[in-house]
Copies of this chain bind each other. A is one copy, B any other.
Amino acid sequence: MSDIGRRLKELGVELPAAKTPVANYLGTKRSGDLLFVSARVSQIRGEVGSDLTTGEAYQAARETVIHLLAIIKEDVDLDAIESVEKMVGFVRSSRTFTEQPKVIDGASDLLVEIFGKHGRHARTATGVAQLPFGAAVQLELILRLRERA
């Protein structure tokens, strides 16, 4: 079992079947040593601040990372990931909801649980009025792959 595979097991994280995009875009695109990962939305739907609490949305962000890893694993060995460079997190926010960073912490925390210090990343956490499928959270990633991975 791979190192990251073992770590996921320790954390009790099971990767779901990946839903590969059916349109003219890719789940991931390799660019030199970088891997651009297409945004995924949470399976948890709803507007944060009205339908969902900050804590529920934190879980939605955490779960979205698991779905991103499932997509990434279709294209590259998870052990080939050297570090997480950048994450952008969009939170579907009510007019008055301003705790987007606390929501996206759900994703940042899990990335560090999985990848250790290499999971620490630059980040943007922002609020939007609507997301695909009415999801609560949407995350995109830029990863660095080991050379020649």
Interface residues of A (CB under 8 A from B): 23-29, 31-34, 36-39, 83, 85-88, 90, 93-101, 105, 108-109, 111-112, 119-134, 138, 140, 142, 144
Contacts and interface: CB of A to CB of B under 8 A. Distances in A.
Contact of A128 (B26, B29, B129, B133): B129
A95 B130 contact: yes
Query: How many copies, total?
Result: 3
Contacts of A140: 122, 124
A8 B78 CA distance: 39
A111 B23 contact: no
Given A24-B112, A85-B31, A108-B25, A36 B122 contact: yes
9 contacts: A24-B109, A24-B111, A26-B122, A29-B120, A31-B86, A124-B138, A125-B132, A126-B132, A127-B128
